[in-house]
């Protein structure tokens, strides 16, 4: 599976993350909170590292302030920027994507739109609409309620994991997604999720803090991954000190992540 992978890490591990991340995934609200975080990304830009900038919806519950997003886009000129979306709201996410489609960004910044919705029809319609707007890359989050509804399973993490897969598979089968499209997968419910996308040529990039979060909590991946998911978010306790054991557990999970998913 040829795909770029990035795992968000606590502040202390930023420099080490270059050793195992294919690119840097930037959470813009953290740029305003931590000078060290800002300094890291300015240096990453100088080094020519690939940068995808999020809009921080997952962490904040809503997209970050538009003026600050535009400021940081101009400052860092990320390779990709995920335009503001609205959680599980297809209409508002499409409206935002339409607005941002006409916003002029620095040369070389690719805009990415996120599919949101509560049904297959909303997902399919939103995806096709983004393509009409001219978006070259489109993303799918991991946690939509629809995913659990479409794939019934007693384990809710398995249900959502397989629900996203089923939704994307049906979009591909029905030719809404083509082989030549570019798709980003935002996060995961379980680390083994990406194994099932192996034969989808349109999956181009992944970001997930899952190996890091569980490593920090002393949870090591088995060869089969996990069957549960921590509710912790990477930006909480962002300045925590990471001890040697936690680093070992994190590196174990990062390596196992690629092994499990054949990346």
Residue 171's alpha-carbon distances to 20, 120, 133, 203, in angstroms, are 31, 9, 18, 13
> What contacts 3, CB < 8 A, 6 or more positions away?
194, 203, 204, 205, 206, 263
Q: Does the pLDDT at position 236 exceed 90? A: no
Per-residue pLDDT tens for 115-153? 999 999 999 999 999 999 999 999 999 999 999 999 999
- Whether 138 and 112 have beta carbons less than 8 Å apart is answered as yes
How far apart, in whole angstroms, are the C-alpha atoms of residue 2 and residue 167?
A: 21
Convert the pLDDT of each residue in 45-67 to its tens digit.
Answer: 999 999 999 999 999 999 999 99
Percentage of the chain surpassing pLDDT 90? 98
Count the Cβ atoms, other than its own, within 10 Å of residue 32. Answer: 14
pTM: 0.97
pLDDT of 167 higher than 90: yes
**Are residues 141 and 58 in contact, defined by beta-carbon separation less than 8 angstroms?**
yes
| Domain range enclosing 173 | 4-260
Q: What CATH number does the domain containing 163 carry?
A: 3.20.20.105
Q: Report pLDDT digits (tens) over 59-103.
A: 999 999 999 999 999 999 999 999 999 999 999 999 999 999 999
Going by DSSP bridges, is the β-strand pair 137-140/51-53 parallel, antiparallel, or unpaired? unpaired
Tell how strand 203-207 and strand 137-140 pair up.
unpaired
Count of structural domains within the chain: 1
* The pLDDT of residue 237: 84
How confident is residue 164, by pLDDT bands cut at 50, 70 and 90? very high
pLDDT tens digits along 205-228: 999 999 999 999 999 999 999 999
Sign of the C-alpha dihedral computed for residues 94, 96, 99 and 103 taken in this order: negative
pLDDT attached to residue 2: 84
- Give the Cα separation of 3 and 26 in Å (integer): 18
Average pLDDT, the chain: 97
**pLDDT one-digit tens code per residue, 171-192:** 999 999 999 999 999 999 999 9
- The SS3 call for residue 103 is coil
Q: Check pLDDT > 70 for residue 1.
A: no
């Amino acid at each position: 599976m040829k795909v770029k992978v990035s795992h968000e890490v606590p502040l202390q591990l930023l420099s080490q993350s270059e050793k195992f991340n294919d690119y840097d995934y930037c959470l813009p609200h953290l740029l305003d909170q931590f000078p060290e975080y800002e300094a890291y990304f300015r240096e990453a830009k100088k080094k020519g590292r690939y940068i995808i900038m999020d809009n921080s919806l997952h962490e904040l519950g809503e997209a970050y302030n538009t003026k600050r997003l535009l400021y940081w886009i101009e400052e860092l000129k990320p390779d990709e920027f995920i335009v503001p979306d609205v959680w599980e709201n297809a209409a508002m996410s499409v409206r935002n994507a339409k607005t941002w489609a006409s916003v002029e960004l620095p040369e070389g910044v690719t805009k990415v739109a996120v599919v949101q919705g509560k049904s297959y029809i909303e997902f399919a319609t939103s995806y096709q609409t983004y393509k009409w707007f001219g978006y070259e890359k489109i993303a799918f989050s991991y946690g939509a309620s629809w995913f659990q509804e479409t794939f019934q399973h007693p384990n809710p993490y398995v249900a959502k994991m397989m629900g996203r897969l089923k939704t994307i598979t049906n979009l591909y089968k029905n030719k809404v997604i083509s082989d030549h499209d570019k798709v980003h997968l935002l996060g995961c419910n379980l680390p083994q999720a990406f194994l099932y996308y192996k034969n989808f040529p349109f999956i181009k990039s992944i970001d997930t803090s899952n190996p890091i979060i569980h490593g920090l909590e002393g949870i090591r991946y088995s060869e089969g991954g996990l069957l549960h998911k921590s509710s912790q978010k990477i930006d909480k306790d962002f300045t925590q000190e990471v001890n040697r054991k936690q680093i070992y557990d994190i590196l174990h999970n990062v390596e196992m992540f690629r092994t499990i998913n054949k990346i």
